[in-house]
Amino acid sequence: MSDHHTRARRRWAALTASAVVLAACTPGADSPGGAGDGSGTTAGSGGSGAEGTDSSSGALVAVPATGQETMVLGGATAAELSVQASRAFFESAPVVVVAAQDEQLTAASAGVALGAPVLVDGPGVVEEVERLGAGTALTIGPVEDPGVDVLAVEDGPGLAEVLGADAGGEPVPDGEQVSALLGLDPDGGSVLQGPAEEASADAGADAAAQTSGDPGGQTAAPAEPLESDVEELPETARPEPVGGTTVLSTGGDRDAAAVASALAAGAPVLVAPEADPRASSEVVQAVAAAEPGAVVGIGPEFGDAETLTSTARAAATGVELPGGGQLVLPGKTYVALYGNPTTSSLGVLGEQGPEETVARAEEIAGAYTDLVDEPVVPALEIIATVASSDPGPDGNYSNEMDVETLRPLVDLAAEHGMYVVLDLQPGRTDFVTQAELYEELLVQPHVGLALDPEWRLGPSEVHLQQIGQVDVAEVDAVVDWLAELTRDHDLPQKMLVLHQFQTRMIPGVDEVDQSRPEVAVLIHADGQGAQEDKQGTWRSLHDYAPSVTHWGWKNFYDEDLPGPLSPAETMQVEPTPDFISYQ
């Protein structure tokens, strides 16, 4: 096709799109804003499209999307995410920026300055330009024809000349493009540039995805930039920010164009490297301060919309766990006293009063602070239901502690920044039934749950005649119950401890549901005796449950031979325990 016909086709597409929008949106002469009142759509020198106008200058203004709902942009590549972000943040735009793969950051800085969507060359770009009703595309580097008039530049210096901006800064290193964008002053007149190499790793991944033979992909980009159809961009102004939406990015370079579109629409962007708004104190407090009505996660790492809605609502409360943030694991090491506050016969937790118990837990945890590079959290593991030799009035061979008996110690732990785990020894009843008894304690952010299958009996079994066991289905029922409780109350993540010293105690434990983001599952190795035997138990349990990420180790003061491991020795256990308890 000749250049003449190409230009004609682009102009026809722009005018057709403009006519449709104007027919739908221009008021009649007798209506408010009708002919003669100076309002309506204004075309720029590069074409016309769907847009607003700045009432003071007459400049064209993009229209950000309103009524946003929490969503996850699930594209795997920068190109896919850029199209999804444009659709999420803009209803229309008179000017769009379209960039070659390796010019994404340069284009992103232009989009922020112009208040325009930024698209990375790839599938869906032409369709998105048409949806936006754009009249002009600012293209940077070699890209496919976007179907409207273009002002084409080759690179950062060329863009700087068009915008009258400064492009003399140092290239932004790989891995820092999003943070550079977030620090960019839209009015500062600077054009950001990526590394000098032809393409970053993310761009390479995009190109590979697009040339892999996928029917939705495309062939290699053209060798030369397009020829310009216009000499300058139409006069534009950045839109007024639409409040209520907060955007989350992992901060990877892949997200630069999508982040730029969010910034251009006026949405605040937060970096959550772990793809979870609960993961750090900084992000939790930033989300809480933003009070978002909706959250947009850039990238599939954020899960689905339902998951992001739940995690963002928890973060928006601003409530943090001991050790910071809203995730119990990873990133923290817990050191706990184990037992029951009413007796010394079940562990060291009951050997002293509440204040002394808290002080003792803090002292023991303090011995670990110089051994790890993460927060050490003092903890209490309280036996809430105690296995009994007597069936009791309910016939379940378990004595359930009254909530009010446990509350003072639970509350005291909260005052001292300690985590609490409620341990269940259910006898002949099931774990969910007993967990429900302690719901009003478990809705406190710093309280988790532990299941002790050693004391889970069958219908005709009694304690000490056999070692109990529980099947995975019952454990999963607890996971679901605890996850729903956490979600319903917008709580930080809960820890679920599974005690075990034989593989038969939880047959098939490797299949336990670990997919619920509200719950972190941890297997706690309870072996006692000679250290060589304990290490053997530790290895056997790991071999039996290789998919389980988090693990706990127990030091017995009296039963371990020749004695419990020292803190330094405990932290040399491989893999390193996340939870260490003392009994």
Out of 316, 348, 371, pick the residue that ends a domain: 316
- Tokens (6 digits) for 220: 């290699």
314: DSSP letter: H
Residues 357 and 287 in one domain: no
How many degrees, rounded to 5, is the angle at CA 577 between CA 574 and CA 581? 135
Cβ–Cβ < 8 Å for 338, 554: yes
Range with the lowest mean pLDDT among 20-24, 48-52, 75-79, 257-261? 20-24
Nearest to 96 by CA among 47, 130, 136, 127: 136
Q: What residues are paired with 137 via a beta bridge?
A: 96, 150
285 shares its domain with 337: no
Higher pLDDT, 540 or 206: 540
Does 391 lie in the same domain as 312? no
Q: Is 150 helix (H, G, I), strand (E, B) or coil?
A: strand
Model confidence pLDDT, tens digit, residues 43-73: 233 333 345 666 566 789 999 998 889 999 9
Residues 451-498: tens digit of each pLDDT: 999 999 999 888 888 899 999 999 999 999 999 999 999 999 999 999
Closest C-alpha to 357, from 313, 412, 400: 412
Which amino acid does the sequence have at 268?
Answer: P
What's the confidence (pLDDT) of residue 38?
A: 30
Nearest to 384 by CA among 326, 455, 475: 455
CA distances from 207 to 80, 220, 271, 301, 490 (A): 11, 7, 25, 20, 41
- With a threshold of 0.85, does the pTM exceed it? no
Answer whether residue 118 shows pLDDT above 80. yes
Residues 350 and 383 in one domain: yes
The total number of structural domains that make up the chain: 2
Regarding whether 359 and 297 lie in a shared domain, the answer is: no
Reduce the DSSP state of residue 553 to 3 states and report it: strand
CB pairs under 8 A, 24+ apart, for 216-221? 216/123, 217/123, 218/122, 218/123, 218/144, 221/100, 221/101, 221/121, 221/142, 221/143, 221/144
Asked whether residue 39 is domain-assigned, the answer is yes
My answer on whether 180 and 309 are in the same domain is yes
Confidence at residue 58, expressed as pLDDT on a 0 to 100 scale:
77
DSSP H or E segment with residue 438: none
Let me know whether 270 and 414 are in one domain: no
Residues 243 and 360 in one domain: no
pLDDT mean across residues, the chain: 87
* Domain assignment of residue 389, yes or no: yes
203 pLDDT exceeds 70?
Answer: no
Q: What is the pLDDT of residues 120-147, one digit of tens each?
A: 999 999 999 999 999 999 999 999 999 9
pLDDT tens, 366-423?
999 999 999 999 999 999 999 999 999 999 999 999 999 999 999 999 999 999 999 9
Domain holding 46, by residue range, is 3-316
Share of the chain above pLDDT 90, in %: 77
Residue of 476, 538, 455, 471 whose CA lies nearest to 506: 471
CA 320 to chain centre: 16
Same-domain check for residues 79 and 222: yes
DSSP string, 64-89: E--S---EEE--SSHHHHHHHHHHHH
Question: Quick one: 442 and 346 in the same domain?
Answer: yes
Residues 70 and 206 in one domain: yes
Residues 506 and 573 in one domain: yes
Cα end-to-end span (Å), the chain? 81
- Going by their DSSP bridges, the two strands 60-61 and 52-53 should be labelled as antiparallel
41 within domain boundaries: yes
- The packing angle between helices 281-290 and 305-316, to 10°, is 90
CATH code: domain of residue 569: 3.20.20
